[in-house]
Amino acid sequence: MEDKTGLVQMEGNAKLVDSTNNVTVLGNQILLNKKENSFLATRKPVMILYRDNDSTYIAADTLFSGVSKYDAAGQIQINGNDTVRNISPAKLSDTALRYFIAFHHVRIFNDSLQAVSDSLHYSNIDSTFKLFDGPVAWNGNTQITGDTMHLYTQNKKPERLYVFNNGIVINKANEAMYNQIAGRTLNAYFKEGNIDYARAKGSPAESIFYPQDDDSAYVGMNRSSGDVIDAFFVKKELNKVKFINNVDGVMYPINQIPADKKYLTNYKWLDNRRPKNKLELFE
């Protein structure tokens, strides 16, 4: 239904396609403002950012998108209530700079990375996802948490994840051993979709690491701290840690690890919150 104000309201199995930005939004209610070229999607909306065979799916209670500037013509195709319209949006100068905001119960699924948070902001200006209020991100058997995260992407693949305050990387070695790197701030870098390197800074930064011998047998647990901790990953596994300045620590033999020393302060393994596949986001 469209009125004189340029508002289009779609109810039930609604679909909005932004061909300029390769984005599709699905929901049971979508309100499109043609004059502002913005939309509001509610009732279990899901947004899909397409990239070849590795698309990113985002679900939340509410999705909103607006535009700062436009280039020449793009077309938005709308499906809803068995009605199909092609709309030529308002033309603004420069390029189509669109931002997306997701509110409450945000879930993200991509083959490379999954995440949850309370709210999210994404802009195609810099391809950065900003996750707020206790976000959690997963890559393989590695989990990253903190107060706020900025995920920088390249071609919609994770490139760098910056964590503001209370950052902790947890890499699951097995059911009984969890490598951990924690700091006030945290930078994690990705290579070909997998975590490759992480740096934690703090006063101090802390780590728990289970080193292995040449036969891949665990030899003990190292619990250490320093101003800076660098963590290096090989094939999604934490392989080596390096400490810089004011280093202090202890190595426990594998059969003498105190139970109260196995976890850092902010340790929480939250795999039960992890989106396992894209279909979960439509439930």
Encode pLDDT of 65-111 as tens digits.
998 654 444 444 444 443 333 333 322 223 467 899 999 999 999 99
User: Which string of b and e fits 43-72 if b means at least 16 CB within 10 Å?
Assistant: eebbbbbeeeeebbbbbbebbbbebeebee
Question: How far is 83 from 201, CA to CA, in rounded Å?
Answer: 54
The answer to whether residue 127 sits within a structural domain is no
> pTM, whole model, 2 decimals?
0.87
The verdict on 146 and 259 lying in the same domain is yes
What is the structure's pLDDT at 63? 97
Cβ neighbors of 154 (< 8 A, separation 6 or more) are 127
Q: Which residue has the higher pLDDT, 36 or 271?
A: 271
The verdict on 199 and 102 lying in the same domain is no
Model confidence band, residue 3 (pLDDT cutoffs 50, 70, 90): low
The verdict on 151 and 254 lying in the same domain is yes
CA 233 to mean position of chain CA atoms: 19
Which of 30-39, 109-118, 239-248 has the least mean pLDDT?
30-39
Model confidence band, residue 6 (pLDDT cutoffs 50, 70, 90): confident
Q: What is the mean pLDDT of residues 172-197?
A: 96
CATH at residue 157: 2.60.450.10
The verdict on 210 and 247 lying in the same domain is yes
What is the structure's pLDDT at 68? 67
